[in-house]
Amino acid sequence: MIDKNSVSVILCAGKGSRMNSARPKVLNTICGKSMLGYILDAQIESGIGRIIIVCNSENIDSIRSHTNKDIEIDYVVQSKQLGTADALKVAVKNTSFKDISNFFVFLGDTPLITHSDITYLSDSLKSNDILIASFETENPTGYGRIIRDNEGRVCNIIEEWDATTEEKSI
């Protein structure tokens, strides 16, 4: 179980326009449950004490109505969708982070993250200052890229639309 002073930010401000859905992307369902529902349940089960959801002005009401959980949830609005880093900045600017033990950031459209994954990440943080969970895929089209140095350390995270041809080959 994770320390109750852990805070999680879930990024849900994207419009999800590529999904061609009238509802916010994170509220689309898989096996009868929203993507956001899966990640919220995993976080609650892992023991995270506080959740911050970054929304946009068009989806905040829908997201609020689908997140009636027995846990403190703060909602902040990213007025312009300027990417992942900006969404996180909005959360940090609009929230108090007193007395936290761990700080997690999740994407709202990652329903396969389980409480075991979150616990594993939390345990891994005990021997690291910062931790980034990522994945490799045969077809990275549409995804950002993690730029690493020769020793495997993260140097930069770049969105696909900002990536050079060389960076897109990662």
Query: What's the CA gap between 72 and 132, in Å, rounded?
Result: 25
Mode of pairing for the β-strands spanning 72-77 and 103-107: unpaired
Please state the rounded mean pLDDT for residues 119-131. Answer: 86
What are the angstrom distances between the C-alpha of 134 and each of 21, 22, 110, 154?
A: 27, 29, 12, 11
For 148-161, how does the pLDDT look when each residue is reduced to its tens digit (9 = 90+)?
999 988 888 888 88
Instruction: Give the residue from 115, 103, 124 showing the smallest Cα distance to 41.
Output: 115
For the ranges 17-21, 141-145, 149-153, the lowest mean pLDDT is seen at 17-21
Position 148, amino acid: R
> Given a cut of 90, is residue 34 above it in pLDDT?
yes
Residue pair 48/74 in contact (Cβ under 8 Å)? The answer is no
- Average pLDDT, rounded, for the chain: 88
CATH topology of domain 7-127: Spore Coat Polysaccharide Biosynthesis Protein SpsA; Chain A (3.90.550)
For 1-11, how does the pLDDT look when each residue is reduced to its tens digit (9 = 90+)?
687 888 999 99
Q: 101 falls in which pLDDT band (50, 70, 90)?
A: confident
**SS3 state of residue 129:** coil
Q: Quote the pLDDT of residue 133.
A: 84
Please state the rounded mean pLDDT for residues 55-79. Answer: 88
Residue spans of the domains in the chain: they are 7-127, 134-170
Q: Quote the pLDDT of residue 3.
A: 79
Angle at which helix 35-46 crosses helix 115-125, to 10 degrees, equals: 50
